C-alpha cells in the first residue's frame, strides 16, 4: 500500500463521470431495453424459433472452437516453446497475427480462399464440397480469429516452466507422453482454463468474420450476433435486445470466472 | 481457514462450473440429438429476398405454401431464408451462397446474376409477368404533422431538409428511389428531361444525411430519429402507418415510380428431386391466394383487380414504371451511373 492518497473523491468522480456514458451506461441500456416490455415480452422474444436457433448455434460453434483451439493452441505453444529452429520468430508472429487483423478482413480472405472462386474452393467445387456459407465455414472463421488466445495463455507458462522438472521426469524413466501428461500439463492448468474461456467468449461474440462467411441464413448459419444485427436492422429492437441481453449476461459470467481463477494478478 | 476446507470449496466451485458448462452444451445440441420419436429433417428450400420482404414471406406466403404442399403431398417442407439489401443478396449469391430462389428488388440484380453465370440470361423473363411478383410505389415518410411541409420530391431540395436515403451501391430500393426522384422531375419537363432530372437529383442528394445499406435499415435510422424525411417503399411503412405505429406519416408525391420485384430461380442449386417442389412454389407465388397475401402485407399485386383488397393503398396521380424510361439497362447506364454517380455525386463531393 504505497502511494495511495486520501481525498481521491474528485479524481475518482471525474473518472466515473467520463466512463459513465462511454462504458457503463451502454451496458445498462441493453438490459433496460430488453426488459422494457416486461419479463413476458422478454421471454417471448427469446422463445422464437430463430432466436433459439441463433443462441444454440452460437454456443455450439463456441464449444467446438474452444475444444479444437485448446488442443491446437497448446500443441503450437509446446512446439514453439520447446524447439529452437530457424524461422521460429516469423512463425510465432504469423500465428499471433489474427489478434491484429480486422475480422472483416479475415472473412474476406477466407471467402477468397475457400469460396467458389477461391484457390481451395475451385478444387472442392467439383467434389460438391463448399465450406463457405455453411456451419463449417463459420467454424473455420472462428478457429482463425480465436487461435492466438490459447497460445497467449499457455506459452508464457511453458516458457517459465523450469526445464529441470522435465529432466527429472525423464531421468526417472518417464516417457515423452508421461512427462507431458504428469509434469507439463498440470503446470499449464490455469493457462488452459483461461485460454479456453477466452476462446469461448470471443467465439460467442464474433461478428466481423462470421457475417462474411455465413451467408446469414436463419435456422442454418445465423449466429446470435448476426441475429441481433439482422433484427435490429429490421427495426425489431425488442427481439434484438433480448438476445443481446443473454449474450451480455453470458459474457459477464465468463469474465467473472476468468477473474476468479486466473486473471487476478493481471488486474 | 484450514486448507482442507478451502480445497473442498474450490472443488465444489469447479464442479458447479463444469455442471454449468455441461448444461450449456446440452442446451446447445438439444435440437440435434437423435432422440426417439423425432421426425426426420424435412425437405428444405433456401429462399433469399431483399430487405422489406421478410415478414410477408416468413409469416404469410411461405407458411401458406408449406401448408398446401403438406396437404397435397403429405410431405413437410422447411424454408431457410435470408433478407438483406437487394445488392447485398445479389453479391452473396454470386459468391455462392446456397440460394435456390431469390426475390430481388430490381431486374438489374437479376442481370448481374446472369452476367456472373449463376442463372441463364433472361431466364426470369420466361416466368409469369416477366418475373415480376409484385410492386409498390416510392413515397416520402415525414415526421408527424409534416413540420417541414414536404409534398413532393422537389421539396427535398429546400434548404434545411435532412433526407434519410438507402445506399444505391447495396440497396435496390435506393435505385428505385433515384428513378422516382429523377422521373418525377423529367416527366414534368418534357423536352429537357435529363437536365431537369439532374437538377432534381442534385437537390435531393445535397440533403442526404444518412445512407443505410438497405431500405429497411434506412427506415430503422429514420425511426431512431435521424432526418426529416425518408424515401422508401410504400409497402415498408404502410402496415405500421395503418396501425398508428409509424413515428411519422406517409406523403404520396404526385408523380412516382412503381418498383417491380423480380424472382430468379437458381437452377444449378436445385437437386433434381426438388424440382417439382420448386416449380409448385414458383407457380404459387403468382396464384391468387399468394397475391392476396402480398396485398394484405401492403404490396400491390401484378393482378390489378386484387388491389382493391387493401384500403390503405394511397392514390398516385401519375405513377410510372421503369419501362417508361427504357428499362433498367438504360436507366442504370444513363441515370444511375451517367447522372447520379458521375455528375451529382462528383459535384456534391461525397
Residue from A215, A250, A258 to probe the interface with B (highest B Cβ count within 10 Å): A215
Q: In B, which residues are within 8 Å of A57 by CB distance?
A: 28
Report pLDDT for B133.
97
**Confidence at B336, pLDDT banded by 50, 70, 90:** very high
B234 pLDDT higher than 70 = yes
Q: pLDDT tens digits for A139-188?
A: 999 999 999 999 999 999 988 888 888 888 888 888 888 888 888 888 88
Question: What is the Cα–Cα distance from A180 to A187, expressed in whole angstroms?
Answer: 10
Report the CATH number of the A35-158+189-266 domain. 1.10.3720.10
Cβ atoms of A73 and A147 closer than 8 Å: yes
Instruction: For chain B, give the mean pLDDT.
Output: 91
Answer whether residue B223 shows pLDDT above 50: yes
The model's pLDDT over A51-82, given as tens digits with 9 standing for 90+, comes to 999 999 999 999 999 999 999 999 999 888 88
**Phi and psi at residue B42, to the nearest 5°:** -75, 170
For residue B99, the distance in angstroms to the closest alpha carbon of chain A comes to 9
CB contact A53 to B (< 8 Å): yes
Chain B contacts in chain A segment 219-258 (CB below 8 A): 219-220, 222, 230, 232-235, 253, 257
CA quadruple A71, A72, A74, A75: dihedral positive or negative? positive
**B95 and A130: CB-CB below 8 Å?**
no
> Does B4 score more than 80 pLDDT?
no
pLDDT of residue B1: 42
- Going by CATH, does the domain composed of B43-134+261-301 fall within 3.90.1170.50? no
pLDDT for position A181: 86
pLDDT of residue A5: 59
Shortest Cα distance, chain A CAs vs residue B248, angstroms: 15
pLDDT digits (tens, 9 = 90+) for B113-125: 999 999 999 999 9
- Give the best residue of B27, B28, B213 to mutate against chain A (max A CB count within 10 A): B28
B63-117 pLDDT, tens digit each:
999 999 999 999 999 999 999 888 889 988 988 888 999 999 999 999 999 999 9
Residue A1 confidence (pLDDT) above 60: no
Pairing, β B132-142 against β B229-233: antiparallel
Nearest CA in chain A to B268: A128
Position A6 pLDDT exceeds 70: no
Domains B43-134+261-301 and B136-259+316-348 share a fold: yes
Distance CA B233, CA B344 (A): 23
**DSSP tag of B336:** I
CA distances from B39 to B27, B74, B77, B184 (A): 19, 13, 12, 55
The set of cell numbers assigned to A19 is 466512463
Q: Which CATH architecture has domain B136-259+316-348?
A: 3-Layer(aba) Sandwich (3.40)
Convert the pLDDT of each residue in A219-232 to its tens digit.
889 999 999 998 88
Contact B83 A217 (CB under 8 A): no
Is the CB of residue B12 less than 8 Å away from at least one CB of chain A?
Answer: no
Mean pLDDT of B209-232: 90
Which residue on chain B is closest to A226 by alpha carbon?
B82
Query: What pLDDT score was predicted for residue B148?
Result: 95
Q: How far is CA B222 from CA A128, B64, B86, in A?
A: 44, 32, 20
Ramachandran area for residue A7 (φ above 0: left; ψ -120 to 50: alpha; else beta)? left
- pTM listed for this prediction: 0.77
- A59 to chain B: closest CA residue: B28
DSSP state of B189: S
Q: pLDDT tens across A172-183, in order?
A: 888 888 888 888
Q: Return the domain boundaries, chain B.
A: 43-134+261-301, 136-259+316-348
For residue A125, give Cα distances in angstroms to A114, A121, B96. 10, 6, 10
Between CA A216 and CA A229 the distance in angstroms is 10
pLDDT category of residue B273 using cuts at 50, 70 and 90? very high
Q: Quote the pLDDT of residue A266.
A: 45
Nearest-Cα residue of chain A relative to residue B21: A63
Query: Is A4 or A229 the better-scoring residue by pLDDT?
Result: A229
Most confident of A161-170, A197-206, B4-13: A197-206
Instruction: Write the CB contacts of A66 (distance below 8 Å, at least 6 apart in sequence).
Output: A146, A196, A197, A199, A200, A203
Amino acid at each position: 500500500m504505497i502511494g495511495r492518497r486520501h481525498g481521491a473523491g474528485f479524481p475518482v468522480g471525474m473518472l466515473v463521470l467520463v466512463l459513465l456514458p462511454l462504458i457503463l451506461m451502454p451496458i445498462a441500456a441493453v438490459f433496460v431495453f430488453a426488459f422494457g416490455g416486461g419479463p413476458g415480452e422478454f421471454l417471448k422474444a427469446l422463445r422464437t424459433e430463430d432466436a433459439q436457433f441463433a443462441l444454440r448455434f452460437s454456443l455450439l460453434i463456441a464449444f467446438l472452437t474452444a475444444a479444437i483451439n485448446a488442443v491446437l493452441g497448446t500443441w503450437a505453444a509446446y512446439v514453439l516453446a520447446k524447439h529452437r529452429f530457424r524461422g521460429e520468430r516469423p512463425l510465432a508472429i504469423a500465428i499471433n497475427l489474427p489478434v491484429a487483423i480486422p475480422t472483416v478482413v479475415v472473412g474476406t480472405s477466407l471467402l477468397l480462399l475457400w469460396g467458389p472462386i477461391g484457390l481451395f474452393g475451385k478444387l472442392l467445387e467439383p467434389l460438391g464440397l463448399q465450406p463457405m456459407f455453411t456451419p463449417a465455414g463459420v467454424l473455420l472463421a472462428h478457429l482463425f480469429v480465436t487461435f492466438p488466445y490459447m497460445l497467449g495463455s499457455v506459452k508464457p507458462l511453458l516458457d517459465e516452466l523450469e526445464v529441470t522438472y522435465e529432466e527429472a521426469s525423464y531421468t526417472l524413466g518417464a516417457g515423452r507422453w508421461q512427462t507431458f501428461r504428469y509434469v507439463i500439463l498440470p503446470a499449464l492448468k490455469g493457462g488452459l482454463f483461461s485460454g479456453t474461456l477466452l476462446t469461448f467468449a470471443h467465439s460467442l461474440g464474433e461478428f466481423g468474420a462470421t457475417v462474411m462467411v455465413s451467408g446469414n441464413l436463419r435456422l442454418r448459419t445465423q449466429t446470435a450476433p448476426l441475429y441481433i444485427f439482422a433484427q435490429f436492422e429490421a427495426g425489431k429492437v425488442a427481439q434484438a435486445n433480448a438476445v443481446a441481453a443473454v449474450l451480455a449476461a453470458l459474457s459477464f459470467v465468463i469474465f467473472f470466472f476468468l477473474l476468479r481463477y486466473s486473471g487476478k494478478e493481471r488486474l | 481457514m484450514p486448507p482442507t476446507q478451502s480445497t473442498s470449496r474450490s472443488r465444489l466451485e469447479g464442479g458447479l462450473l463444469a455442471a454449468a458448462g455441461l448444461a450449456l452444451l446440452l442446451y446447445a445440441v438439444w435440437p440435434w440429438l437423435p432422440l426417439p420419436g423425432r421426425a426426420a429433417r424435412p425437405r428444405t428450400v433456401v429462399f433469399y429476398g431483399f430487405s422489406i420482404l421478410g415478414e410477408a414471406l416468413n409469416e404469410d406466403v411461405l407458411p401458406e405454401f408449406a401448408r398446401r404442399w403438406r396437404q397435397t403431398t403429405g410431405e413437410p417442407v422447411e424454408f431457410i431464408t435470408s433478407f438483406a439489401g437487394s445488392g447485398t443478396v445479389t453479391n452473396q449469391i454470386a459468391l455462392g451462397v446456397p440460394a435456390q430462389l431469390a426475390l430481388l428488388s430490381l431486374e438489374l440484380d437479376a442481370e448481374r446474376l446472369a452476367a456472373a453465370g449463376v442463372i441463364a440470361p433472361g431466364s426470369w423473363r420466361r416466368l409469369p409477368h416477366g418475373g415480376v411478383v409484385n410492386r409498390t410505389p416510392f413515397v416520402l415518410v415525414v415526421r408527424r404533422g409534416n413540420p417541414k411541409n414536404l409534398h413532393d420530391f422537389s421539396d427535398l431540395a429546400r434548404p434545411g431538409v435532412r433526407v434519410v436515403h438507402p445506399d444505391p451501391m447495396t440497396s435496390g430500393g435506393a435505385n428505385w428511389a433515384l428513378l422516382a426522384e429523377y422521373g418525377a422531375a423529367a416527366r414534368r419537363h418534357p423536352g429537357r428531361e435529363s437536365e431537369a432530372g439532374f437538377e432534381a437529383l442534385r437537390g435531393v442528394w445535397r440533403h442526404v444525411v444518412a445512407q443505410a445499406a438497405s431500405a429497411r435499415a434506412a427506415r430503422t435510422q429514420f425511426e431512431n430519429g435521424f432526418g426529416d424525411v425518408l424515401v422508401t417503399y410504400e409497402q415498408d411503412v404502410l402496415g405500421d402507418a395503418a396501425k398508428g405505429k409509424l413515428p411519422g406519416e406517409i406523403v404520396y408525391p404526385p408523380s412516382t415510380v412503381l418498383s417491380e420485384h423480380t424472382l430468379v430461380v437458381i437452377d444449378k442449386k436445385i437437386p433434381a428431386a426438388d424440382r417439382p417442389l420448386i416449380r409448385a412454389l414458383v407457380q404459387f407465388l403468382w396464384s391468387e391466394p399468394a397475391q392476396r397475401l402480398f396485398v394484405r402485407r401492403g404490396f400491390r399485386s401484378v393482378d390489378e383487380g386484387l388491389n382493391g383488397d387493401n384500403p390503405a393503398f394511397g392514390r398516385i396521380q401519375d405513377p410510372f414504371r421503369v419501362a417508361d424510361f427504357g428499362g433498367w439497362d438504360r436507366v442504370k447506364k444513363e441515370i444511375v451511373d451517367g447522372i447520379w454517380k458521375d455528375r451529382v455525386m462528383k459535384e456534391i463531393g461525397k
